[in-house]
Amino acid sequence: MALLEMHEWYDLARDTNWTPAYVAEDEIFPPELSDPYGISVEQWETFDEPYKVCYRDYVETQRDKDIGAYSVKSALARADFFKKASPHWKALLALHFSPIGFAEFHSASAFARMTRFSRAPGMRNMATFGTLDEMRHGQIQMYFAYEFIKQDRVFDWAHKSSKTENWIIISLRHALDDIEHTRDAISAAIMTNFAFEQGFTNLQFIGLSADAAKAGDHTFATMLQSIQTDEARHAQIGTPLISIMIENGRKAEAQRLVDIGFWRIWKQFSALSGISMDYYTPLEFREHSLKEFMHEWVVDQFARNMKAIGLDLPWYWDYFLHDIETFHHSQQIGVYVYRATEWWRPIACVSPAERDWLEEKYPGWNDTYGKCWDVVIDNIRGGRFEKTVPEVPPLICNMCGLEVTGIAGVGRQVNGRTWNATNFHLDHEGRRYHFCSEPCKWVFELEPARYQGHRSIIDRLLDGTVPPGPDGFYEYMGQSFEERGVCGYDYQWVDGYDLPRAAAAE
Amino acid sequence: MTTADDAGNLVGPVMRAGDIADAVLEAIQEDNEGREVITEAHASYIRIKVADECFVRFETVGDVLGRTVTRGDIESNMPSFAGFIRTEPDGIRFVAR
Ligand SMILES: [Fe+2]
Ligand SMILES: [Fe+2]
């Protein structure tokens, strides 16, 4: 029997709205979950999926994608790639797999909520596939990380991390809870599908795959791109939603959702992709710098989409352009010096050759971030290893959960260089909140009630939530003694600065 | 510095490097006649860009490869694209808006 082509039945099959007879419409689709913007159901029904797929094709395609990715993995497993990988690549894999794996599973619930509560039948279709996609992303990354556990316990954190109160996980969870999990279906979709997925996932899942291919890690490269082929499809949910919002006089609201989501996710990717691309990827395998990848994927490809659908660039765009050249450099310093608070083995990646590369990609790096590293290097060379670890905890941003750091090239002059370590702060209902940047503060001020109850890891340290004692802090963060990060090169990376090996081994 | 306007209206798929990517490129050259097709090769992916509009026809890709090519074959090898996508019965269209 000849089957009808998808386009011959699609519109008819999509039409799954009906008028309920036994309950009120509002009870099935409560406005606070389905549409706080008061747009009519007729308008939502105009949602036309730009990227259409039917279930039969979906299952077949997804099966083929999995066969492709898993067969590359099993064909290359014997090559023992991981055993021979450098501390650079091991740190990069740990940084990717441990926060992301379970966050993908969580995304499945965000898509499921869109599937359940959207009033647009076309959106419900796309979100159904998106739910299944995100389950796949959770499973495949958990499974690929699992392979490494027998060689390195760090990969236990692919599963464990999301259940801990580690400061990095608190930071990630705060951002994802904010945009994916604690808003109505429409707002969450605009923030997640448009600002987050269309905006940033290409960076980590395609950009980094180029580095992985160069490094010979074809399993990782294939897995990343396989995942991204799903994202390319379900991220398209955001576009028709924004168009419907704009057509119905809700541009300001849509713009605000994008501006918040874009900033929040940028901060996460700045640390994740920034450190991965500009530091953890071995020098000889770097395809581009973070800045170059950001220009390709975000400043060019994504920003054009924003304007084409009728939005404006976010108000903080100029600041953002500066931030893509600066923020991750200071975060990398923090991640290295506070390494015991991380579960993997952080590495510095500032050998003389790596510094030359950083200076070339980010002119002025040596004169700013390099000066901070000089102090670290000097202490290691002098055998004063304890001095490479700060005694005081850092100031943590009450929005992004990352360290409030100096940003080179912005603000006031210090020692002849422009150096901004401004703590943007706000006093609200009897307490002071600290922020790393104007946009993080702006997000808070938009809706203080949403954010004011959150306590950063430092707030928890000060208010007694974290148990006292030398181990209390680490135990609170889920880190046994063996799960506290040490320098991945055992300080020998400074050998390039002529340190005798014997001194470093002491 | 790149600004959001520099890339003009270049649209088209980003393909995972491999035989499907090569075939898609060839098919795009054939089906978008008279328009310049720009490619940008990276270690693991290739960007294919055409001004304003770019069409990938499944049958042409299949002719290049000598086998049937489905929508799923393209999707499995297309981690991203520039511009906006329109799925059509016989292919995929990318438009600037
Ligand atoms: Fe995903
Ligand atoms: Fe996704």
Residue A115: inside a domain? yes
Residue B23: inside a domain? yes
Contacts of A232 in chain B (CB under 8 A): 75, 78-81
Nearest chain A residue (CA) to B9: A304
**pLDDT tier at A74, thresholds 50, 70, 90:** confident
C-alpha A501 – ligand 1 centre gap (Å): 44
Q: What is the pLDDT of residue A65?
A: 97
Ligand at minimal distance from the CA of A135 is: 1
Nearest chain A residue (CA) to B5: A304
CA–CA gap between residue B34 and residue B27 (Å, rounded): 13
Residue B4: inside a domain? no
C-alpha A201 – ligand 2 centre gap (Å): 8
Token pair, residue A110, equals 């965000």
Residue A56: inside a domain? yes
CA–CA gap between residue A65 and residue A234 (Å, rounded): 15
Contacts of B97 in chain A (CB under 8 A): 308-309
Q: Do A229 and B17 touch (CB under 8 A)?
A: no
Q: What is the pLDDT of residue A233?
A: 97
Residue A403: inside a domain? yes
The mean pLDDT value of chain A amounts to 93
Residue A323 structural domain: 29-505
What's the structural domain count of chain B? Answer: 1
Residue A331: inside a domain? yes
What's the structural domain count of chain A? Answer: 1
Ligand at minimal distance from the CA of A138 is: 1
pLDDT tens by residue, A317-342: 999 999 999 999 999 999 999 999 99
Residue B36 structural domain: 10-95
Residue whose tokens read 């958990």: A142
C-alpha B61 – ligand 1 centre gap (Å): 28
C-alpha A104 – ligand 1 centre gap (Å): 5
Element (H, E) at B81: strand B80-82
Across A19-43, b (16+ Cβ under 10 Å) vs e yields eeeeeeeeeebeeebbbebebeeeb
Beta-sheet strands, E only, within A98-164: none
CA–CA gap between residue B91 and residue B71 (Å, rounded): 7
- Which among A50, A5, A194, A197 is positioned nearest to B92, based on CA atoms? A50
Contacts of A51 in chain B (CB under 8 A): 85, 87
Residue A244: inside a domain? yes
From B53's Cα to the closest Cα of chain A, the distance in A is: 14
Residue B45 has its nearest CB partner, among A5, A53, A225, at: A225
Residue A418: inside a domain? yes
Q: Do A210 and B45 touch (CB under 8 A)?
A: yes
Q: Which of A8, A140, A203, A229 to mutate to test the interface with B (most CBs of B within 10 A)?
A: A229
Token pair, residue A20, equals 């309920």
Q: Which of A231, A241, A304, A361 to mutate to test the interface with B (most CBs of B within 10 A)?
A: A304
Q: Report whether pLDDT(A504) > 50.
A: no
- The CATH number given to whatever domain includes residue A312 is 1.10.620.20
**CB A267, CB A330: distance < 8 Å:** no
ipTM of the shown complex: 0.93
Q: For residue B93, what are the β-bridge partners? A: B55, B86
**pLDDT tier at A1, thresholds 50, 70, 90:** low
Residue B25: inside a domain? yes
- The CATH number given to whatever domain includes residue B82 is 3.90.56.10
The residue that leads in pLDDT, A393 or A399, is A399
- Chain pair A-B, CB pairs under 8 angstroms: 106
Nearest chain A residue (CA) to B94: A50
CA–CA gap between residue A376 and residue B31 (Å, rounded): 58
Q: Report whether pLDDT(A506) > 60.
A: no
Q: How far is CA B50 from the centre of its chain?
A: 8
CA–CA gap between residue B80 and residue A135 (Å, rounded): 20
Q: What is the pLDDT of residue A387?
A: 93
Q: Do B4 and A303 touch (CB under 8 A)?
A: yes
Residue B35: inside a domain? yes
pLDDT tens by residue, A238-270: 999 999 999 999 999 999 999 999 999 999 999
Q: Do B76 and A68 touch (CB under 8 A)?
A: yes
Residue B2: inside a domain? no
Residue A20: inside a domain? no
**pLDDT tier at B4, thresholds 50, 70, 90:** very low
**Torsions phi, psi for B47 (to 5 deg):** -95, 130
Q: Do A300 and B83 touch (CB under 8 A)?
A: no
CA–CA gap between residue A373 and residue A358 (Å, rounded): 13
Query: Average pLDDT for residues A381-387, to the nearest whole number?
Result: 92
- Residues having C-beta closer than 5 Å to ion ligand 1: A 104, 134, 137
- Which among A47, A440, A146 is positioned nearest to A268, based on CA atoms? A440
Residue B54: inside a domain? yes
Q: Which of B59, B87, B92 to mutate to test the interface with A (most CBs of A within 10 A)?
A: B87
Q: What percent of chain A has pLDDT over 70?
A: 95
Q: Do A206 and B44 touch (CB under 8 A)?
A: yes
